[in-house]
Structure 1
Amino acid sequence: MKRRIAREKALQILFSLDTEEYNIETTLEHTLNGEERDTFLLKIVKGVAENQQHIDEKIASNLEKWSMARLAIVEKTLLRIAAYELFYLKDAPESVIINEAIEIAHVFGDEKSGKFINGVLSKMVK
């Protein structure tokens, strides 16, 4: 599975975990729908879930005039995924991780999502 697809599926899984009363295994099964489990996808999903409190603190400290509670779930989830990759995985250049989050925001978010994601993530890596 390509990393872009893994990130998009991670967004869907983590979004579901944030909005429904599912567990990771059930959500993985529904989202993958018989597809093979990808190592990168599993790292992201489990890593974000296990480190969510610390990741949310990092994000919250870089929000201006926003709070975590006010963020749309798509943007919050994308920020969590990118923050996990930036601060825990560290296996891709920061610019690639940020660009991927922006591109996925253009697909799953609204017209302002990409700019918002870029601003928060750019502030986080300074």
Structure 2
Amino acid sequence: MKRHAAREKAFQILFQLDINITDPNEITSQLLDAEEQDDFLQALVEGVVSHKDEIDQTISNHLENWTIQRLASVERTVLRIATYEILYVEDVPTNVSINEAIELAHLYGDDKSGKFVNGVLSKIIAK
């Protein structure tokens, strides 16, 4: 599985986790066939879940007039994945993480999602 596809599947899994608190493995098995298992996908899902508090704090520190709880689930999930990549995945360039996040936001969010995600991530990497 290519990393772009892995990010999209990770988004779907983490989005489900965000709106339905449940076991990540259960959702993963529901959304993926056995042949779709991928190390990068698994690392994204497990990494975001295990570092969620730190990721959410980082995102919160770069929001203006918003709280992370007020964000739509699409934007919150996309930001979590990209922030995880920026902070914890060394072999992915920052600009790739941001571009992939913007693409996911455009695909699953509304017209303003990509711009919003880009703005927050730009503030995160500026630090």
Q: Normalising to structure 2: TM-score of the pair?
A: 0.96
Give % identity.
Answer: 52
**Matching of residues 1-126 of structure 1 within 5 Å:** 1-126=1-126
Distance 1:21 1:117 in 2: 24
Task: State the Cα distance separating 1:69 from its structure 2 match.
Answer: 1.1
Distance 2:61 2:85 in 1: 17
Paired amino acid for 1:88:
Y
Task: State the Cα distance separating 1:80 from its structure 2 match.
Answer: 0.4
Provide runs of 4+ in structure 1 moved above 6 Å.
Answer: none
Distance 2:76 2:21 in 1: 18
**Count of residue pairs the alignment pairs up:** 126
Distance 1:32 1:88 in 2: 24
Distance 1:52 1:69 in 2: 13
Distance 1:94 1:59 in 2: 15
Task: State the Cα distance separating 1:21 from its structure 2 match.
Answer: 3.4
Q: Normalising to structure 1: TM-score of the pair?
A: 0.96
Distance 2:45 2:57 in 1: 18
My pick for the range that moved more, 89-98 or 39-48, is: 89-98
Task: State the Cα distance separating 1:36 from its structure 2 match.
Answer: 2.9
Task: State the Cα distance separating 1:22 from its structure 2 match.
Answer: 2.2
Q: CA RMSD in A?
A: 0.9
| SS of equivalent residue, structure 1 residue 110 | coil
